[in-house]
């Protein structure tokens, strides 16, 4: 299925997104790349939510295959991979920020100080800065 | 676990949201209530993405338990339940709209005409109107 164009049960773009993103682990990996600056397997693995190694391996492959992540050998250690976000991956920022807002309001989540206010005050500026940082 | 306060592996509000929302089926049920106006088990079941009855039963119970859905007997047929969205459920609208935007841009999704433009042009107005409709 991976590199073939998937056959979907509907044309709904919400469903299409959720089919690609799968379960919560995928979005947590994107979060770690986007906001924590993590780049390596071990950094994702130790991010705090207890992801299993086999799940992480699977999600990294799926996200790379879906064009959400890039993957290249670490110049300092050729046995390791460094992951990055594509433009498609960076464009998940509004989804993550809205999940953060909802989880802060309703599920006792604690966001990094100032992030949601900065996004609310100037969405375009916030997203532009995020892209510059990951450029 | 259902009605106890969950113990979370992290304070991250993105993780908190994803733990409650679980997999894609939960968000598809919220979508159907929010935008298609569906209210009953059979309407959700026949929404087009092929959700299994046991999965739907499970997700409706979890979403109700999480305070995202309301559930009351259908006044026209006491054997049926009518579901609705709480304020907490309605506040998932920005998450769904951002997923829709991303799936339209990157995953060949086709949104209902005009919805994303209307949201982009006036977010507060769009969300206010949605809440009035579900009032």
Q: Specify whether the CB–CB gap between B105 and A98 falls below 8 A.
A: no
Q: What angle in degrees, to the nearest 10, is found between the helix axes of B123-134 and B93-106?
A: 120
A:B CB pairs within 8 Å: 158
B121–chain A Cβ distance below 8 A for any pair: no
What angle is formed at CA A127 by the lines to CA B90 and CA A133, rounded to 5 degrees?
Answer: 140
Q: How far is the CA of A65 from the CAs of A62, A109, B125, in angstroms?
A: 5, 31, 38
What angle is formed at CA A39 by the lines to CA A36 and CA A42, rounded to 5 degrees?
Answer: 100
A59–chain B Cβ distance below 8 A for any pair: no
What does the pLDDT read at residue B10? 84
Mean pLDDT, chain B, integer: 92
H or E segment and range at residue A132: helix A123-134
Instruction: Give tens-digit pLDDT for A57-91.
Output: 999 999 999 999 999 999 999 889 999 999 999 99
A91–chain B Cβ distance below 8 A for any pair: yes
What does the pLDDT read at residue A10? 84
For residue A2, pLDDT beyond 60? no
H or E segment and range at residue B81: strand B77-85
For residue B39, pLDDT beyond 90? yes
B46–chain A Cβ distance below 8 A for any pair: no
Instruction: Give tens-digit pLDDT for B90-114.
Output: 999 999 999 999 999 999 999 999 9
**pTM, rounded to two decimals:** 0.92
A78–chain B Cβ distance below 8 A for any pair: no
What does the pLDDT read at residue B34? 96
Q: Do residue B13 and residue A94 have CB atoms under 8 angstroms apart?
A: no
Domains and CATH numbers, chain A: 13-134 (1.10.10.10)
Instruction: Give tens-digit pLDDT for A92-120.
Output: 999 999 999 999 999 999 999 999 999 99
ipTM: 0.92
Which DSSP letter does residue A40 get?
S
Best B6, B10, B14 member to test A by mutation, with max A CBs in 10 Å, is: B14
What does the pLDDT read at residue B135? 81
pLDDT interval class at B5 (50, 70, 90): low
Question: Nearest Cα to A105, choosing from B90, B63, B83, B64?
Answer: B90
Terminal CA-CA length for chain A: 30
Question: Would you tell me how many other CB atoms lie within 10 Å of the CB of residue A76?
Answer: 7
Residue in A closest to B87 by C-alpha? A106
As beta bridge partners, residue B74 has B77
For chain B, the maximum distance between any two Cα atoms, rounded to a whole number of angstroms, is: 45
Best B18, B26, B44, B65 member to test A by mutation, with max A CBs in 10 Å, is: B18
Chain B hits for A98, Cβ within 8 Å:
94-95, 98
Structure tokens given for A23: 């379960």
A120–chain B Cβ distance below 8 A for any pair: no
Instruction: Give tens-digit pLDDT for B6-34.
Output: 566 688 999 999 999 988 999 999 999 99
């Amino acid at each position: 299925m991976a590199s073939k164009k998937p056959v979907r049960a509907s044309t709904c773009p919400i469903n299409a997104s959720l089919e690609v993103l799968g379960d919560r682990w995928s979005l947590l990996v994107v979060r770690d790349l986007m906001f924590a600056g993590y780049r390596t397997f071990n950094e994702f693995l130790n991010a705090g939510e207890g992801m299993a190694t086999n799940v992480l391996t699977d999600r990294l492959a799926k996200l790379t295959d879906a064009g959400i992540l890039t993957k290249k050998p670490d110049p300092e250690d050729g046995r390791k991979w460094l992951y990055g976000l594509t433009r498609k991956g960076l464009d998940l920022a509004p989804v993550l920020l809205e999940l953060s807002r909802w989880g802060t309001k309703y599920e006792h989540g604690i966001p990094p100080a100032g992030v949601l206010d900065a996004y609310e005050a100037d969405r375009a500026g916030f997203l532009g800065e995020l892209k510059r940082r990951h450029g």
